[in-house]
Amino acid sequence: MSSDTIPENPYVLLTPGPLSTTPTVKAAMLRDWCTWDDDYNGIVQDVRRQLVELATPQEGYTSVLMQGSGTFCVEATLGTAVPPGGRILIIANGAYGQRMALIAERLRIPHTLLRSAETAWPDTGLVRETLRADPSITHVAVVHCETTTGILNPLTEIAAVVQESRRLFIVDAMSSFGGIPMDIGSLGIDFMVSSANKCIQGVPGFGFVIARRSVLERCAGSARSLSLDLYSQWRTMEDEKGKWRFTSPTHVVRAFAKALEELHAEGGVTARHGRYSENHRELVLGMTQLGFSCLPDERLRSPIITSFLDPAAPGYSFAAFYAALKARGFVIYPGKVTQADTFRIGTIGDVSPATIRSLIAAVRQSMTW
């Protein structure tokens, strides 16, 4: 293959990330970069600046990039932000909230788990009561878009309770940042975690944390890991102008810089949210017309990914349905809901309403049960 050739994708990824990327984002990875070179580190610094600008117009925030998947960044944040003697309240209504609790358990971080049904919003009144009853809780963590079901949790309401209680606030915005408008400064978020391969439409390889600088500065020496020390990673990037402590995913960072450029060209987060919302509308309309049922209720759903109940037909098999769709050029996601048999379809990435209409036609052709 010549250096200027990008192979054609055999299928569209309708998943919550990795997702389908543009040819130009993929092409950005064709050049090699040196991790020590000022040209590359300048790209890192520009990415860090742009991430903060996307997150909030308020002063006092900074960003840090971390190798690995989004979960690496969640673990780095929990393991660094909660100091010895601290305690975190984890609000969970799906697998990714539960994963935060598992991280806290493995790192021996004192925590309280407040669980809700997977198909319901967390009870903000119960969050308030829990915080009032336990002054030992220093931090609160929640997932914004819980891709177990596709629920978009009521971040504004939860943030108001956390601000009222004067606790530090950690938000896993893995599948929402860049695709759903938010101002983390006005929400009082102290640590917001996301990943390169989600709504900004980069490729997998690193995640990032946008943090309140004054809070992050107090985290020196708190980390429970060497490689996942969020403070030390940030301090190195600050002091050495974009350098990473350990080998960085250079090609992925350059692709992400291109993806940020394309986000701005599309019209920013508001415009991208509009496209994703239209994708979601087309998906739900088409699937329900074919007889599929969505989970959860409409008012709870995000435009990121949607869960559908498996058909009750005796001849239905997700494996066969998946294979039939893949053969027609579309890859979807298996379900993750514990109390129901479901599958999921994402509506983010380099995907348009026309793509979704083509998917609906492929679903119709694949319904052999």
What pLDDT shows up at residue 1?
Answer: 40
List beta partners, residue 171.
Answer: 142, 192
What pLDDT shows up at residue 336?
Answer: 85
> Would you mind telling me the total number of residues written for the chain in this entry?
369
pLDDT tens, residue by residue, 260-274: 999 999 999 999 999
pLDDT tens, residue by residue, 318-344: 999 999 999 999 999 999 888 899 999
pLDDT tens, residue by residue, 99-148: 999 999 999 999 999 999 999 999 999 999 999 999 999 999 999 999 99
Residue with the larger pLDDT of the pair 257 and 36: 257
pLDDT tens, residue by residue, 61-106: 999 999 999 999 999 999 999 999 999 999 999 999 999 999 999 9
What pLDDT shows up at residue 49?
Answer: 98
Residue reference for tokens 């999921």? 344
Q: What average pLDDT score do residues 163-173 get?
A: 98
Give residue 50's identity as a one-letter amino acid code. Answer: Q
Q: How confident is the model at residue 5 (pLDDT cuts 50, 70, 90)?
A: low
Q: How many CA atoms lie within 13 A of 161 on its CB side?
A: 21
Q: Contacts by 286-294 with C-beta closer than 8 Å and gap 24+?
A: 286/356, 286/357, 286/359, 286/360, 286/363, 287/345, 287/360, 287/363, 289/360, 290/360, 290/363, 290/364, 290/367
Q: Where does residue 366 fall: left (phi above 0), alpha (psi -120 to 50 degrees), or beta otherwise? A: alpha
What pLDDT shows up at residue 3?
Answer: 43
Q: Which has the minimum average pLDDT: 9-13, 162-166, 231-235?
A: 9-13
Q: What average pLDDT score do residues 172-178 get?
A: 98
* Verdict on whether the full-model pTM lies above 0.85: yes
What pLDDT shows up at residue 338?
Answer: 86
Considering the chain, what is the average pLDDT of its residues? 96
Q: What average pLDDT score do residues 229-246 get?
A: 97
What pLDDT shows up at residue 8?
Answer: 78
What pLDDT shows up at residue 9?
Answer: 83
What pLDDT shows up at residue 6?
Answer: 64
What pLDDT shows up at residue 2?
Answer: 44
pLDDT tens, residue by residue, 206-219: 999 999 999 999 99
Radius of gyration, alpha carbons of the chain:
21
What pLDDT shows up at residue 17?
Answer: 85
Residue reference for tokens 């408008």? 181
C-alpha to C-alpha distance for 104 and 99, rounded to whole angstroms? 9
And the tokens for 91? 């609000």
Q: How confident is the model at residue 4 (pLDDT cuts 50, 70, 90)?
A: low
C-alpha to C-alpha distance for 238 and 234, rounded to whole angstroms? 6
